């Protein structure tokens, strides 16, 4: 099947691009964007961000994260619907055809695994000159993107987190008639700074996803490990980039601080704009696991477990939800819900 980049539309605006059936690398993302006859603003910004950091060693430190848990973040209105129905449903009205009837969850990486990965990342570059001087900054820079932030989200103030094995078990019982659910590579979303990899979970014996490759097992892989794979009944993720910005420039010869002064203003710049310290942007990876729930299907979870696994979080910009609030407000609402 021939696949091409498809624009992700928000009204008449191109918000980004989607590529079906493959988890694109940073290099492939750049090449796919370059091959377009006309590249929109989102693609131009992504290319610019890749250009600014593509030689950095920070993008070539493949470290494996076990995906033990998934998280679903939402706003207060949607949370109420989830609690009342004791279930999560797919977006049957999703404006994107490839995302219809899906319930979206993202990888919830354990803090211990994040700290371990930061040490591994430093170990891989400690031979670089000046690495010892910047050891703390190197570790803090790694796994600093929104994909690893447990305290804030762009999608709401209420965070549900469950073990992946538990969610797959529920899906198997409720939607697969006891057979094993299938995990396939849905594709890649490309935004201005984020490269999001999507995996779809679906029931067996369904034709809709037949043209998509299955998530491979490590024992069946002869070459380099892919971005997502199974090993010993555990799902692993090895993102290329985990940093929102790269304050350090790390190459084989040296490590140094990138310039932090704001870029020079043009003559037309508004004098009233507040000056901000310039941070070199870096593209970053996200892993999304989507459960296929067609025909008004739902993934049912007891209300007691939903409330037990519910935590508040701050709003992260750019915010994509509907009704943002302060974290303390969300915390108060959760306390009230647990008392009912």
User: What pLDDT digit, counting tens, does each position of 215-256 carry?
Assistant: 999 888 878 889 999 998 899 999 999 998 888 989 888 999
Calculated CA dihedral for residues 119, 120, 123, 128, nearest 10 degrees: -100
- pLDDT category at 271 given cuts 50, 70, 90 is very low
pLDDT tens digits for 84-114?
Answer: 999 999 988 888 888 999 999 999 999 999 9
For 15, what's the count of Cα atoms within 13 Å in the CB-facing half-sphere? 11
- Helix (H/G/I), strand (E/B), else coil: 106: strand
Q: Please give the share of the chain, as a percent, with pLDDT higher than 70.
A: 93
**Which pLDDT belongs to residue 322?**
80
Nearest CA to 281 out of 28, 9, 52 is that of: 52
The overall longest dimension of the chain from CA atoms, in Å, is 67
Enumerate residues 6+ apart whose C-beta is below 8 A from 110. 66, 68, 69
d(CA 16, CA 7): 6
Provide the pLDDT confidence category of residue 313 given band limits of 50, 70 and 90.
very high
C-alpha closest to that of 29 among 13, 46, 41 = 46
CA nearest to 7, candidates 98, 83, 127: 98
| The pLDDT of residue 278 | 54
- % residues pLDDT > 90 (the chain): 71
Distance CA 41, CA 55 (A): 23
Average pLDDT over residues 135-145: 93
Average pLDDT, the chain: 90
How much is the pLDDT for 24? 97
What are the DSSP calls for 137-182, one per residue?
A: HHHHHTT-SGGG-SSEESS-SEEEEEEHHHHHHHHHHHHSTTSPPE
- pLDDT single digits (tens) 168-182: 999 999 999 989 999
* Tokens coding 133: 């001087």
Higher pLDDT, 72 or 232: 72
Is the pLDDT at 125 greater than 60? The verdict is yes
Summarize the confidence of residues 198-217 as an average pLDDT. Answer: 94
For 274-311, write each residue's pLDDT tens digit.
Answer: 444 456 778 999 999 999 999 889 999 999 999 999 99
């Amino acid at each position: 099947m021939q696949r091409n980049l498809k624009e992700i539309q928000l009204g008449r605006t191109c918000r980004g691009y989607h590529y079906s059936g493959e988890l694109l690398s940073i290099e492939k993302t750049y090449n796919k964007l370059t091959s377009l006859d006309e590249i929109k603003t989102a693609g131009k910004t992504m290319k610019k961000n890749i250009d600014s950091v593509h030689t950095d060693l920070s993008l070539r430190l493949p470290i494996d994260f076990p995906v033990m848990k998934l998280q679903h973040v939402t706003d207060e209105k949607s949370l109420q619907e989830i609690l009342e129905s004791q279930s999560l449903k797919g977006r049957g009205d999703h404006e994107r055809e490839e995302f219809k009837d899906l319930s979206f969850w993202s990888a919830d990486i354990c803090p211990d695994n994040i700290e371990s990965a930061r040490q591994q990342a430093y170990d891989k570059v400690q031979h670089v000159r000046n690495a010892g001087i910047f050891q703390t900054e190197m570790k803090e820079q790694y796994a600093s993107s929104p994909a690893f932030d447990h305290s804030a989200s762009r999608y709401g103030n209420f965070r549900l987190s469950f073990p992946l094995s538990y969610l797959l078990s529920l899906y198997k019982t409720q939607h697969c008639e006891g057979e094993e659910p299938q995990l396939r590579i849905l594709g890649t979303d490309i935004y201005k700074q984020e490269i999001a990899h999507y995996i779809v979970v679906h029931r067996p014996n369904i034709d809709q996803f037949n043209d998509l490759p299955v998530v491979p097992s490590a024992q069946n892989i002869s070459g380099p490990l892919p971005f997502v794979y199974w090993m010993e009944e555990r799902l692993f993720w090895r993102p290329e980039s985990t940093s929102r910005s790269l304050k350090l420039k790390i190459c084989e010869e040296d490590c140094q601080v990138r310039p932090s002064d704001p870029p020079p203003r043009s003559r037309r710049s508004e004098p009233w704009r507040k000056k901000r310290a310039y941070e070199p942007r870096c593209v970053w990876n996200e892993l999304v696991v989507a459960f296929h729930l067609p025909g008004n299907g739902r993934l049912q979870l007891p209300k007691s477990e939903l409330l037990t696994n519910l935590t508040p979080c701050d709003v992260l910009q750019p915010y994509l939800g509907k009704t943002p609030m302060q974290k303390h407000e969300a915390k108060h609402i959760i306390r009230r819900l647990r008392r009912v």
